[in-house]
Amino acid sequence: MANHLLDGLMANAQPEHVFARLPDGRTYTYQDVVDVSARFANRLVALGVQPGDRVAVQVPKSIEAVTLYLGTVRAGAVFLPLNTAYTPSEIEYFLGNATPSVFVCDPKDAGSYTDLAARLGVHLETMGVWKSHGESAGTLADAALEASAAFADIDRGPDDLAAILYTSGTTGRSKGAMLTHDNLLSNAVVLKDLWRFTADDVLLHALPVFHTHGLFVATNTIMRAGAGMVFLSGFNNDQVIHYLPECTAMMGVPTFYTRLLDDPRFTKELVSHMRLFVSGSAPLLAETHVEFEARTGHRILERYGMTETNMNTSNPYDGDRRAGTVGFPLPGVDLRVCDPDTGKPVPDGEIGMIEVRGPNVFAGYWQMPEKTKEEFRDDGFFITGDLGKIDADGYVHIVGRGKDLIISGGYNIYPKEIELLLDEQDGVLESAVIGVPHPDFGEGVVGVIVPLKQAHVEEASIMEAIKDKIARFKQPKKLYVVDELPRNTMGKVQKNILRDRYAGTFAS
Ligand code: MCA
Ligand code: AMP
């Protein structure tokens, strides 16, 4: 045996070829990838990490964070990346649930995690952004530099776990999606071929590396192609516009594209050499697609995926990239649209629940066999929670969500989690959280609160009270205090009425 994911990802890598170029001038070759990931693997093993152990990581974006993922996989362990915006109270749940043997945090957060790690018996390490001038970038970084660059990869097969990524849950509790070596590799192999990546490509990478999009869709596909990246710490127009001339492809969430279109420096000339723009994680408005083509001559290629499934569909590379659709099922992926109640496929053109099956589909939720069973059909199809249809030409359209989910700037936010928190606050009887159109993030979070009788509730005090409890991007950007919530005859809150009522909240 060998290490299925690592071997597959590195199959086309040439040691001297540049994997990543950083704005500070550093370049990172594939040989560096091999060496640094070996150092991490050696260090993790020295810390007692065993095959199958989880290594949880909440660190600022850096190329070393990507090599730590590879080092973890080489050590036979399971990489568990966490959003840098999560607060310590959110992190406590992930560490308690996933029981990692090591947790790597930002050096500046170490003080907030020392007690928690000790209480949970998790070994705490730190890693920040590595500097070119030899300044310490944390305990793990320092120790890795001392470790050997030779490592015999731990054998791992296609069905062994490579990563766990938490997705927010409809009940408010997050579920850990278990992704195998082959879930990740099979998707990278398909995307590299479908989107025609070769060693000559340079991807503009401005996505975070703690989610599927930036970590797997972007970096795995690039690695599989033996290609390179300009690796930015995040998205901002100045840097992106500066580096686009050196790149051939870009992947982003719709917010990236609307922000670029708002910038007069983003011109046809700037991107005339580009080969490909990919969008996903949230719906790309048809008008953005049309405006992008009018401005640049490029048709954005929209694709559709989930944390649990990696990528499921893509618009064609050569054929017609249709605005408002997510294209065709990827090679090897079966996709059907079913009646959500009976599970029977509906005729083409009719709306139903999207279900998928294939080598990309995850192995289940970490330690939640019942939840896993509920979300799979007996014949192996995963119920995505997305409502869609297949048109006469075979294009898949996503028309809505069966799950109560807000997607803001490409981040998923489950209203239930926020409602539970709002309900706990002094003076609050109940609440409802909705997503309404937002000019920058697509959807913006709005909270609607009903106070207890005689209680006086103010937006500012509620916002202050929840400040450290949940990640900033999940917090309502506007709170309304009302006397009662609209309900149907069954007593269920009518969120559609609230969404209509507050639709203009963020009107620009
Ligand atoms: C930042 N803020 C947000 C968001 N991002 N609020 C709502 N939604 C957001 N997405 C808030 C901050 O808390 C802050 O609030 C203010 O906005 C400015 O923050 P800043 O950090 O400056 O924002 P930014 O750097 O401009 O970030 C916006 C962004 C970023 C670039 C759109 O959110 C981003 O990179 N999103 C990509 C997410 C992603 O990779 N998703 C893929 C998931 P305040 O000022 O009030 O403190 S994977 C997935 O979905 C599947 C598998 C798939 O198909 O890909
Ligand atoms: P996540 O749980 O972060 O992996 O988000 C997955 C969800 O993002 C999917 O279930 C969809 O609802 C949504 N999504 C991803 N790509 C697209 C897209 N191109 N269009 C519409 N929704 C999308």
- Reading the chain (508 residues) residue by residue, the pLDDT tens digits are 699 999 999 999 999 999 999 999 999 999 999 999 999 999 999 999 999 999 999 999 999 999 999 999 999 999 999 999 999 999 999 999 999 999 999 999 999 999 999 999 999 999 999 887 778 899 999 999 999 999 999 999 999 999 999 997 666 679 999 999 999 999 999 999 999 999 999 999 999 999 999 999 999 999 999 999 999 999 999 999 999 999 999 999 999 999 999 999 999 999 999 999 999 999 999 999 999 999 999 999 999 999 999 999 999 999 999 999 999 999 999 999 999 989 999 999 999 999 999 999 999 999 999 999 999 999 999 999 999 999 999 999 999 988 889 999 999 999 999 999 999 999 999 999 999 999 999 999 999 999 999 999 999 999 999 999 999 999 999 999 999 999 998 889 999 999 999 999 999 7
What residue's CA is closest to ligand 1, atom 47? 472
Ligand 2 test: best mutation among 289, 306, 353, 397, most atoms within 8 Å of CB? 306
What residue's CA is closest to ligand 2, atom 6? 306
Question: Which among 75, 46, 54 is positioned nearest to 139, based on CA atoms?
Answer: 46
How far is ligand 2, taken at its centre, from the CA of residue 354, in Å?
A: 12
The answer to whether the beta carbons of residues 208 and 61 sit under 8 Å apart is: yes
Structure tokens at 199: 């060693």
309 vs 295: CA distance, rounded Å: 33
Q: Which helix or strand (DSSP H or E) is residue 303 part of?
A: strand 301-306
Rg of the Cα trace of the chain? 23
pLDDT for residue 508 = 72
Structure tokens at 295: 């401005």
β-strand 478-481 against 442-451: which pairing, if any? parallel
Shortest-distance atom of ligand 2 to CA 307 = 4
The answer to whether the beta carbons of residues 410 and 338 sit under 8 Å apart is: no
What residue's CA is closest to ligand 1, atom 25? 235
Token pair 């909240």: residue: 505
How far is ligand 1, taken at its centre, from the CA of residue 308, in Å?
A: 20
Q: Report the SS3 class of residue 253.
A: coil
140 vs 414: CA distance, rounded Å: 33
Shortest-distance atom of ligand 1 to CA 413 = 8
Ligand 1 test: best mutation among 168, 213, 259, 403, most atoms within 8 Å of CB? 213
How far is ligand 1, taken at its centre, from the CA of residue 253, in Å?
A: 9
pLDDT for residue 404 = 87
What residue's CA is closest to ligand 2, atom 12? 386
**Cα dist from 71 to 29, 58, 91, 322, whole Å:** 16, 16, 22, 39
Per the document, the length of the chain is 508
Burial profile 107-116: b = 16 or more Cβ within 10 angstroms, e = fewer: bebeeebeeb
Please report how many Cα atoms fall inside a 13 Å half-sphere around the Cα of residue 370, on the Cβ side.
0
Shortest-distance atom of ligand 2 to CA 168 = 2
369 vs 364: CA distance, rounded Å: 7
How far is ligand 1, taken at its centre, from the CA of residue 363, in Å?
A: 28
pLDDT in tens, 92-135: 999 999 999 999 999 999 999 999 999 999 999 999 998 877 78
Instruction: Report residue 100 CA to chain centroid gap.
Output: 20
Q: Which helix or strand (DSSP H or E) is residue 177 part of?
A: strand 175-180
How far is ligand 1, taken at its centre, from the CA of residue 153, in Å?
A: 35
Residues 6+ apart with CB under 8 A from 455: 426, 427, 428, 429
Token pair 């109640």: residue: 341
Residues 6+ apart with CB under 8 A from 470: 87, 89, 90, 417, 418, 421
pTM: 0.97
Number of C-beta neighbours around residue 144 at 10 A: 27
Shortest-distance atom of ligand 1 to CA 440 = 32
How far is ligand 2, taken at its centre, from the CA of residue 282, in Å?
A: 5
How far is ligand 2, taken at its centre, from the CA of residue 305, in Å?
A: 6
**Cα dist from 48 to 43, 122, 164, 269, whole Å:** 9, 11, 20, 53
Question: Which among 109, 97, 111, 6 is positioned nearest to 56, based on CA atoms?
Answer: 97
Shortest-distance atom of ligand 2 to CA 167 = 2
What residue's CA is closest to ligand 2, atom 21? 283
What residue's CA is closest to ligand 1, atom 53? 281
Q: With a 6 A CB cut-off, is 441 part of the ligand 1 pocket?
A: yes
How far is ligand 1, taken at its centre, from the CA of residue 260, in Å?
A: 15
How far is ligand 2, taken at its centre, from the CA of residue 89, in Å?
A: 26
Q: With a 6 A CB cut-off, is 409 part of the ligand 1 pocket?
A: yes
Question: Which among 225, 226, 218, 295 is positioned nearest to 257, based on CA atoms?
Answer: 295
Q: Report the pocket of ligand 2 as residue ranges, CB < 6 Å.
A: 167, 212, 280-283, 302, 304-307, 326, 384-386, 398, 401, 407, 412
The answer to whether the beta carbons of residues 203 and 249 sit under 8 Å apart is: yes
pLDDT for residue 403 = 84
The DSSP 8-state label assigned to residue 376 in this structure reads B
337 vs 453: CA distance, rounded Å: 46
Q: With a 6 A CB cut-off, is 240 part of the ligand 1 pocket?
A: no
486 vs 495: CA distance, rounded Å: 8
Structure tokens at 396: 């898949």
Q: Which ligand is nearest to the CA of 308?
A: 2
**Cα dist from 236 to 10, 271, 355, whole Å:** 30, 17, 35
The answer to whether the beta carbons of residues 406 and 445 sit under 8 Å apart is: yes
How far is ligand 2, taken at its centre, from the CA of residue 420, in Å?
A: 24
How far is ligand 1, taken at its centre, from the CA of residue 256, in Å?
A: 10
Q: With a 6 A CB cut-off, is 408 part of the ligand 1 pocket?
A: yes
